Protein backbone atom coordinates (compact mmCIF):
# COMPACT_ATOMS: atom_id res chain seq x y z
CA UNK A 1 0.00 0.00 0.00
CA UNK A 2 2.81 2.42 0.89
CA UNK A 3 4.67 1.59 -2.31
CA UNK A 4 1.52 2.16 -4.35
CA UNK A 5 0.97 5.49 -2.61
CA UNK A 6 4.53 6.59 -3.36
CA UNK A 7 4.20 5.57 -7.00
CA UNK A 8 0.88 7.40 -7.26
CA UNK A 9 2.36 10.57 -5.81
CA UNK A 10 5.37 10.31 -8.10
CA UNK A 11 3.06 9.87 -11.10
CA UNK A 12 1.26 13.09 -10.27
CA UNK A 13 4.49 15.01 -9.67
CA UNK A 14 6.00 13.75 -12.93
CA UNK A 15 2.93 14.91 -14.85
CA UNK A 16 4.34 18.42 -14.52
CA UNK A 17 8.08 17.80 -14.71
CA UNK A 18 8.49 14.53 -16.62
CA UNK A 19 5.18 13.29 -18.07
CA UNK A 20 6.90 10.55 -20.06
CA UNK A 21 7.87 8.83 -16.80
CA UNK A 22 4.29 8.95 -15.57
CA UNK A 23 2.83 7.31 -18.66
CA UNK A 24 5.55 4.67 -18.81
CA UNK A 25 4.70 3.64 -15.27
CA UNK A 26 0.99 3.69 -16.06
CA UNK A 27 1.67 1.46 -19.04
CA UNK A 28 2.98 -1.26 -16.74
CA UNK A 29 0.95 -0.41 -13.63
CA UNK A 30 -2.32 1.34 -14.57
CA UNK A 31 -3.28 2.76 -11.19
CA UNK A 32 -5.69 5.66 -10.90
CA UNK A 33 -7.30 5.81 -7.45
CA UNK A 34 -4.92 8.43 -6.06
CA UNK A 35 -5.30 10.56 -9.18
CA UNK A 36 -9.08 10.35 -8.84
CA UNK A 37 -8.87 11.37 -5.17
CA UNK A 38 -6.65 14.32 -6.05
CA UNK A 39 -9.12 15.37 -8.73
CA UNK A 40 -12.02 15.33 -6.26
CA UNK A 41 -10.04 17.42 -3.74
CA UNK A 42 -8.97 19.92 -6.39
CA UNK A 43 -12.55 20.19 -7.65
CA UNK A 44 -13.83 21.10 -4.19
CA UNK A 45 -11.02 23.61 -3.67
CA UNK A 46 -11.65 25.13 -7.08
CA UNK A 47 -15.36 25.53 -6.36
CA UNK A 48 -14.53 27.17 -3.02
CA UNK A 49 -11.99 29.55 -4.58
CA UNK A 50 -14.50 30.56 -7.24
CA UNK A 51 -17.32 31.14 -4.73
CA UNK A 52 -17.44 34.98 -4.83
CA UNK A 53 -17.14 35.03 -8.62
CA UNK A 54 -19.74 32.30 -9.08
CA UNK A 55 -22.18 34.19 -6.88
CA UNK A 56 -21.59 37.37 -8.85
CA UNK A 57 -22.10 35.54 -12.15
CA UNK A 58 -25.35 33.99 -10.93
CA UNK A 59 -26.55 37.05 -9.02
CA UNK A 60 -29.35 37.90 -11.42
CA UNK A 61 -30.56 34.38 -12.03
CA UNK A 62 -33.98 33.25 -10.98
CA UNK A 63 -32.56 30.42 -8.87
CA UNK A 64 -31.26 32.95 -6.37
CA UNK A 65 -34.43 34.99 -6.37
CA UNK A 66 -36.34 31.86 -5.42
CA UNK A 67 -34.70 31.85 -2.03
CA UNK A 68 -31.82 29.43 -2.47
CA UNK A 69 -28.88 30.32 -0.25
CA UNK A 70 -25.33 30.90 -1.38
CA UNK A 71 -24.08 27.50 -0.24
CA UNK A 72 -26.76 25.79 -2.30
CA UNK A 73 -25.86 27.76 -5.42
CA UNK A 74 -22.13 27.02 -5.12
CA UNK A 75 -22.72 23.35 -4.27
CA UNK A 76 -25.05 22.95 -7.23
CA UNK A 77 -22.59 24.61 -9.59
CA UNK A 78 -19.74 22.41 -8.36
CA UNK A 79 -21.85 19.27 -8.62
CA UNK A 80 -22.90 20.04 -12.19
CA UNK A 81 -19.32 20.82 -13.15
CA UNK A 82 -17.95 17.59 -11.64
CA UNK A 83 -20.71 15.53 -13.23
CA UNK A 84 -19.93 17.07 -16.60
CA UNK A 85 -16.21 16.33 -16.21
CA UNK A 86 -16.81 12.71 -15.27
CA UNK A 87 -19.17 12.22 -18.21
CA UNK A 88 -16.48 13.64 -20.48
CA UNK A 89 -13.95 11.33 -18.83
CA UNK A 90 -16.07 8.24 -19.52
CA UNK A 91 -16.82 9.36 -23.08
CA UNK A 92 -13.14 9.92 -23.85
CA UNK A 93 -12.16 6.54 -22.35
CA UNK A 94 -14.78 4.80 -24.49
CA UNK A 95 -13.76 6.63 -27.66
CA UNK A 96 -10.05 5.93 -27.18
CA UNK A 97 -10.68 2.28 -26.31
CA UNK A 98 -12.80 1.81 -29.43
CA UNK A 99 -10.17 3.56 -31.57
CA UNK A 100 -7.37 1.37 -30.22
CA UNK A 101 -9.40 -1.78 -30.87
CA UNK A 102 -10.47 -0.78 -34.38
CA UNK A 103 -7.04 0.42 -35.49
CA UNK A 104 -5.25 -2.48 -33.76
CA UNK A 105 -2.30 -0.27 -32.90
CA UNK A 106 -1.32 -1.90 -29.60
CA UNK A 107 -2.99 -5.11 -28.50
CA UNK A 108 -1.39 -4.92 -25.05
CA UNK A 109 -3.25 -1.73 -24.13
CA UNK A 110 -6.44 -2.46 -22.21
CA UNK A 111 -9.26 -0.24 -21.03
CA UNK A 112 -7.62 0.04 -17.60
CA UNK A 113 -4.51 1.62 -19.14
CA UNK A 114 -6.58 4.22 -20.99
CA UNK A 115 -8.69 4.81 -17.88
CA UNK A 116 -5.62 5.50 -15.73
CA UNK A 117 -3.94 7.72 -18.34
CA UNK A 118 -7.02 9.86 -18.99
CA UNK A 119 -7.60 10.29 -15.25
CA UNK A 120 -4.10 11.69 -14.87
CA UNK A 121 -4.54 14.10 -17.79
CA UNK A 122 -7.64 15.47 -16.07
CA UNK A 123 -5.40 16.60 -13.21
CA UNK A 124 -3.37 18.65 -15.69
CA UNK A 125 -6.60 20.09 -17.02
CA UNK A 126 -7.98 21.16 -13.66
CA UNK A 127 -4.59 22.62 -12.70
CA UNK A 128 -4.84 25.02 -15.65
CA UNK A 129 -8.12 26.27 -14.17
CA UNK A 130 -6.39 26.79 -10.82
CA UNK A 131 -3.81 29.04 -12.47
CA UNK A 132 -6.62 31.09 -13.96
CA UNK A 133 -8.39 31.28 -10.58
CA UNK A 134 -5.14 32.34 -8.91
CA UNK A 135 -4.82 35.25 -11.34
CA UNK A 136 -8.50 36.20 -11.23
CA UNK A 137 -8.47 38.23 -7.96
CA UNK A 138 -5.45 40.18 -9.22
CA UNK A 139 -7.35 41.58 -12.18
CA UNK A 140 -11.05 41.37 -11.34
CA UNK A 141 -13.37 42.03 -8.43
CA UNK A 142 -16.39 39.74 -7.94
CA UNK A 143 -18.74 42.56 -8.90
CA UNK A 144 -16.94 42.86 -12.26
CA UNK A 145 -18.10 39.37 -13.30
CA UNK A 146 -21.10 39.67 -15.59
CA UNK A 147 -20.45 36.91 -18.14
CA UNK A 148 -18.32 33.73 -18.18
CA UNK A 149 -15.80 35.52 -20.38
CA UNK A 150 -15.08 37.89 -17.49
CA UNK A 151 -13.52 34.96 -15.62
CA UNK A 152 -11.01 34.18 -18.37
CA UNK A 153 -7.75 35.82 -17.28
CA UNK A 154 -5.01 33.72 -18.88
CA UNK A 155 -3.96 35.48 -22.13
CA UNK A 156 -5.49 33.76 -25.14
CA UNK A 157 -6.39 34.36 -28.75
CA UNK A 158 -9.59 36.13 -27.70
CA UNK A 159 -7.53 39.18 -26.76
CA UNK A 160 -6.76 39.75 -30.45
CA UNK A 161 -10.38 39.85 -31.60
CA UNK A 162 -11.04 43.54 -30.99
CA UNK A 163 -14.77 44.31 -30.82
CA UNK A 164 -16.03 40.76 -31.42
CA UNK A 165 -19.26 40.29 -29.45
CA UNK A 166 -20.00 36.59 -29.95
CA UNK A 167 -19.54 35.20 -26.42
CA UNK A 168 -19.34 31.57 -27.54
CA UNK A 169 -16.64 32.28 -30.13
CA UNK A 170 -14.73 34.41 -27.64
CA UNK A 171 -14.89 31.59 -25.10
CA UNK A 172 -13.56 29.12 -27.67
CA UNK A 173 -10.71 31.43 -28.62
CA UNK A 174 -9.84 31.98 -24.95
CA UNK A 175 -8.89 28.29 -24.73
CA UNK A 176 -6.12 28.86 -27.25
CA UNK A 177 -3.54 29.84 -24.64
CA UNK A 178 -0.19 28.61 -23.27
CA UNK A 179 -1.76 26.50 -20.51
CA UNK A 180 -3.87 24.60 -23.03
CA UNK A 181 -0.74 23.99 -25.09
CA UNK A 182 0.75 22.26 -22.06
CA UNK A 183 -2.33 20.06 -21.73
CA UNK A 184 -2.09 19.09 -25.42
CA UNK A 185 1.62 18.37 -24.96
CA UNK A 186 0.99 16.03 -22.01
CA UNK A 187 -1.87 14.34 -23.83
CA UNK A 188 0.33 13.82 -26.88
CA UNK A 189 3.03 12.16 -24.78
CA UNK A 190 0.48 9.89 -23.13
CA UNK A 191 -0.97 8.74 -26.46
CA UNK A 192 2.50 8.30 -27.98
CA UNK A 193 3.74 6.11 -25.14
CA UNK A 194 0.63 4.04 -24.48
CA UNK A 195 -0.65 3.49 -28.00
CA UNK A 196 2.80 3.35 -29.63
CA UNK A 197 2.06 5.43 -32.70
CA UNK A 198 4.18 8.13 -34.31
CA UNK A 199 4.57 11.48 -32.59
CA UNK A 200 2.71 13.24 -35.41
CA UNK A 201 -0.26 10.87 -35.18
CA UNK A 202 -0.22 11.20 -31.39
CA UNK A 203 -0.28 15.00 -31.68
CA UNK A 204 -3.12 14.97 -34.20
CA UNK A 205 -5.11 12.64 -31.93
CA UNK A 206 -4.43 14.85 -28.91
CA UNK A 207 -5.48 17.92 -30.90
CA UNK A 208 -8.75 16.24 -31.92
CA UNK A 209 -9.42 15.30 -28.28
CA UNK A 210 -8.69 18.87 -27.20
CA UNK A 211 -10.97 20.36 -29.87
CA UNK A 212 -13.79 18.03 -28.83
CA UNK A 213 -13.33 18.90 -25.16
CA UNK A 214 -13.19 22.65 -25.76
CA UNK A 215 -16.26 22.51 -27.99
CA UNK A 216 -18.15 20.66 -25.26
CA UNK A 217 -16.89 23.17 -22.69
CA UNK A 218 -18.22 26.07 -24.74
CA UNK A 219 -21.56 24.28 -25.17
CA UNK A 220 -21.72 23.52 -21.45
CA UNK A 221 -21.04 27.17 -20.55
CA UNK A 222 -23.61 28.37 -23.09
CA UNK A 223 -26.28 26.06 -21.64
CA UNK A 224 -25.63 26.49 -17.90
CA UNK A 225 -23.83 29.78 -17.33
CA UNK A 226 -25.12 32.22 -19.96
Q: What mean pLDDT comes out for the span 187-210?
A: 93
User: pLDDT at residue 52 above 60?
Assistant: yes
pLDDT at 68: 53
Confidence of residue 51 (pLDDT cuts 50, 70, 90): confident
Read off the pTM.
0.85
pLDDT at 12: 92
Task: Yes or no: say if 216 and 138 are a contact pair by the CB < 8 Å rule.
Answer: no
Task: Yes or no: say if 100 and 121 are a contact pair by the CB < 8 Å rule.
Answer: no
Task: Yes or no: say if 34 and 3 are a contact pair by the CB < 8 Å rule.
Answer: no
User: pLDDT at residue 195 above 50?
Assistant: yes
Question: What are the boundaries of each domain within the chain?
Answer: 2-12+19-224
Q: How far is CA 111 from CA 3, 73, 92, 119, in A?
A: 23, 36, 11, 12
User: pLDDT at residue 18 above 70?
Assistant: yes
Q: What pLDDT, in 10s, does the model give residues 54-108?
A: 777 766 554 444 445 666 666 776 777 788 888 888 998 998 888 888 877 777 8
Percent helix / strand / coil, the chain, rounded to 5: 80, 0, 20
Amino acid sequence: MVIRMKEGIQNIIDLFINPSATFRRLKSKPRWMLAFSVYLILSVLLAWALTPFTLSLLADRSVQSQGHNKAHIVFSSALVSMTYTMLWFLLLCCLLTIAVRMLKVNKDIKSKHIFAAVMHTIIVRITTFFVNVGLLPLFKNPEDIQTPMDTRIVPGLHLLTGSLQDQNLLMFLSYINPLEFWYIFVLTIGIYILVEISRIKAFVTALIVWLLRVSLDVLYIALFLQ
